[in-house]
Structure 1
Amino acid sequence: MLPKKKVTLDDVSRAAGVSLSTVSMILNARADVSFAPETIQKVRRAAEELGYQAPRRRIRGRLPSRSVIIIVAPNIANAYYSGLIQAIQQAAEQHDFSTLIFTTYRDAHKEEEILDMALTLGAAGMIFTLTPQSMHRVEKVSRKLPIVILGDSSSNSSVDVVDLDNYSAGVLIGRHMLELGHKHIAFITAVMNSSNTIRLHRLQGVLDAYEQEKDCTVQVFTRDHTPLEELNSIDIEQRIGYELASQCLEKESLISGFIAANDFIAYGVLDALAEKGFSVPEDYSVCGFNNLTSSRISHVGLTTVEHQAESRARKAFTILLERIKGGNAVSDLVQMEYSHHLLERRSTGPYRPVPTARN
């Protein structure tokens, strides 16, 4: 019986329909070149199907003394995600792990590219700070290296998840506004789709809270944006909050309060109200979600929902560490859900008759 022929880069090149140099640079994770996500996926898929194995190479100099954890986030401009990342890094440092941070800007192709790089780089594990869009791919990679997701409680996967019930958070803040007498409110949010389930569930919670009361309404103001737009605009969510709140104020309505999908969007709402000469909470009440550090500043004083972000991030690392030490058997799948609570500050107050602009 003849020995099985070793799969070469030439074989992968022919199967993928790309040049040999392209295959070499992609499989060797060259940092100084870039390729379209489709090309990367094509090469990775061909290599996997053919059973290609990279040759062992001697590495000059000292090898890294610490294992690497990859952290995946939509962006780092939003303090919510940078807070999660720092908490993970704090936990990782205590256990002598290094971290690499990758951003996706909510692009599914970038998620898949990062997953491929994690395997190529030999990462010890991965933590997603949002529910991935490429869940099928995540589940496949999780058979080869441990992955933990900081996600939404609606997540349905075979990967370890530290959950957050965003629906009940929406109900909580909706009831708060109702208790203050705000029967007509606006929900302000950036793009809502399958890659932004957190916002969808927060909105649904608010809607359900208001549906239980008579003669109450929730007007939804939203604006789409692309991953490229998010990449090129650090303050995109704050700008969207400002733009949508301004549009809302131009219309004649009974709205007396604003619920923003997160604190950053709420800051834009506050800017729009201030520009129009309105006071908070005397004229309008405003609230958000996430309890960012800046929301606690006295002159901001944003009413918001605390999600125990740092505690959840550290727990995600703890789960990942256990997987790294003892494997990641599906039979021991972890699905842990954290609770939240309302932090009532100066930005919300009792309902008063809807004012008119002062400028």
Structure 2
Amino acid sequence: MKKKPTLDDIAALAGVSKTAVSMILNEKKGVTFLEETIEKVHEAAKELGYAKKTPRLQKLSVFNKNTILVLAPTISSPFFTTIVQSIEQEADKHGIHVIIQNTFRDKERELKYLEQIKDSNLYGLILTMLPHHPKLLEEINESIPVVIINERSFHADLDTVEVDNYSAGILLAEHLISLGHKHIAYLTTALSTLNIARVRRLEGINDTFRKLCPEGTVTVKSKRVRPVDEIRNINLEHDTGYELVHEVLPHKEITGIVASTDMIAYGVLDALEENGFSIPEDFSVCGFDNLFPSKFHGISLTTVEHYILNKGQEAVEIIRSRQLKNREKISSTSVLYQHKLIIRNSTGPARKFQLKEM
């Protein structure tokens, strides 16, 4: 049998002490390491196939007959917090308990939770992001109703509640082009198949510019985000927008900035204002999701309404419908929500003047 990797093995491969490996993998509080050291340890652990033990869900057996488990990337984001609250509100109407677990988009963490509940009597399972293990979810779905809240981009027979993010990108692109913006930037965290909403939004923007403004350009700036980054930094999206703006400023032709989420847009607004720029006179800024802070007078962000509250409620209703039919699995359901452009004070006509130097 293949020997399971140990902390000593990881330490030897990474070239650090066993104590350092233990502290880094267990995210010991009050201890800091160089980013390079942390990266080495995680890469070594991954190369050796080391899997950190995930604590079992506490007291799940007490509630599982009347409990929905919600897996979310991180509820530090207002987007996922709002979805989870809408799920809880709807579940509470029917006396259903809700348990929430963060996955931080980590493949192994998600697998641990799925393995723990697959033979349980859980009332339902809701994932608020694209799954790493769709085939396992199909197996679970035979006995436990499963709903995915995200754009469908996987080949699995599962119920989904989604939004057409491609069309949402078209809406924002048309809005900016109508205001005279020919050169814009798209700022986002990692673009990948697991973050398909961000990819589809960009595709909608790119196709619209090719069609309506072929002389224009869409400059993409993205930041790679690892699961460990999501765990450590609850301000990750805001910080991403804040940092990426500084990569945009050298491009003097850019007049509009589209953030892949409202949270990233908030970081963009803060960075621009701190550098002495005016919104929307110097730059127009917009995002996606229409989070509740976006309507605040001090922010007033142009964005796309994605009806987050409705999506959480719909997911609970799909599960209840399955339960009323004794969990019988019938053909999968796909509920598609329309979106709406919300125009606020963060967008305006493209500037005609040269930007002042920073």
2:331 is the counterpart of 1:335: no
**Is the Cα–Cα contact under 8 Å of residues 70 and 118 in structure 1 kept in the other structure?**
no
In the alignment, which residue of structure 2 is the partner of 1:229?
229
- Report the Cα offset of residue 271 of structure 1: 1.1
Letter in 2 for 1:206: I
- Report the Cα offset of residue 357 of structure 1: 3.6
1:65-144 matched pairs, under 5 angstroms: 67-119=66-118, 122-144=121-143
Gaps of 5+ in 2: 5-25, 27-48
In the alignment, which residue of structure 2 is the partner of 1:243?
243
Structure 2 CA distance for aligned equivalents of residues 344 and 300 of structure 1: 12
**Is the Cα–Cα contact under 8 Å of residues 186 and 260 in structure 2 kept in the other structure?**
yes
- Report the Cα offset of residue 281 of structure 1: 0.5
TM-score normalised by the chain length of structure 1:
0.81
Structure 2 CA distance for aligned equivalents of residues 207 and 333 of structure 1: 32
Deviates more, 1:106-115 or 1:349-358: 349-358
- Report the Cα offset of residue 188 of structure 1: 0.3
In the alignment, which residue of structure 1 is the partner of 2:34?
none
**The residue matched to 1:133 in structure 2 has which SS?**
coil
**Is the Cα–Cα contact under 8 Å of residues 300 and 345 in structure 2 kept in the other structure?**
yes
Assess, with a 3 A threshold, how the Cα gap between structure 1 residues 225 and 64 changes in structure 2: closer, same or farther: closer
**Is the Cα–Cα contact under 8 Å of residues 255 and 350 in structure 2 kept in the other structure?**
yes
In the alignment, which residue of structure 2 is the partner of 1:310?
309
Assess, with a 3 A threshold, how the Cα gap between structure 1 residues 261 and 63 changes in structure 2: closer, same or farther: closer
1:192-231 matched pairs, under 5 angstroms: 192-212=191-211, 213-231=213-231
In the alignment, which residue of structure 2 is the partner of 1:23?
none
Assess, with a 3 A threshold, how the Cα gap between structure 1 residues 69 and 256 changes in structure 2: closer, same or farther: same
Which structure has the bigger radius of gyration? 1
Letter in 2 for 1:333: S
**Is the Cα–Cα contact under 8 Å of residues 272 and 278 in structure 2 kept in the other structure?**
yes
- Report the Cα offset of residue 130 of structure 1: 1.4
In the alignment, which residue of structure 2 is the partner of 1:322?
321
In the alignment, which residue of structure 2 is the partner of 1:170?
169
Structure 1 CA distance for aligned equivalents of residues 94 and 329 of structure 2: 24
Structure 1 CA distance for aligned equivalents of residues 190 and 62 of structure 2: 44
Assess, with a 3 A threshold, how the Cα gap between structure 1 residues 63 and 337 changes in structure 2: closer, same or farther: closer
**Is the Cα–Cα contact under 8 Å of residues 133 and 194 in structure 1 kept in the other structure?**
no
TM-score normalised by the chain length of structure 2:
0.81
**Is the Cα–Cα contact under 8 Å of residues 254 and 354 in structure 1 kept in the other structure?**
no
Aligned length: 309
RMSD between superposed Cα atoms in Å: 2.4
**Is the Cα–Cα contact under 8 Å of residues 301 and 347 in structure 1 kept in the other structure?**
yes
In the alignment, which residue of structure 2 is the partner of 1:26?
none
Task: Spell out structure 1 runs of 4+ moving beyond 6 A.
Answer: 15-18
Structure 2 CA distance for aligned equivalents of residues 63 and 252 of structure 1: 58
Structure 1 CA distance for aligned equivalents of residues 224 and 3 of structure 2: 36
Structure 1 CA distance for aligned equivalents of residues 52 and 272 of structure 2: 47
**Is the Cα–Cα contact under 8 Å of residues 66 and 96 in structure 1 kept in the other structure?**
no
Q: Deviations over 1:107-147 (max 9, x none)?
A: 12111111112235532110111121211111121112110
**The residue matched to 2:242 in structure 1 has which SS?**
helix
- Report the Cα offset of residue 37 of structure 1: 7.9
Letter in 2 for 1:214: P
In the alignment, which residue of structure 2 is the partner of 1:30?
none
Deviates more, 1:62-71 or 1:199-208: 62-71
Structure 2 CA distance for aligned equivalents of residues 123 and 162 of structure 1: 20
Structure 2 CA distance for aligned equivalents of residues 65 and 167 of structure 1: 37
Letter in 2 for 1:217: T
Structure 1 CA distance for aligned equivalents of residues 329 and 50 of structure 2: 29
Structure 2 CA distance for aligned equivalents of residues 101 and 65 of structure 1: 13
Structure 1 CA distance for aligned equivalents of residues 285 and 352 of structure 2: 15
**The residue matched to 2:193 in structure 1 has which SS?**
coil
Letter in 1 for 2:80: Y
In the alignment, which residue of structure 2 is the partner of 1:280?
279
**Is the Cα–Cα contact under 8 Å of residues 252 and 355 in structure 2 kept in the other structure?**
no
Structure 1 CA distance for aligned equivalents of residues 202 and 233 of structure 2: 24
Gaps of 5+ in 1: 1-14, 19-32, 42-58
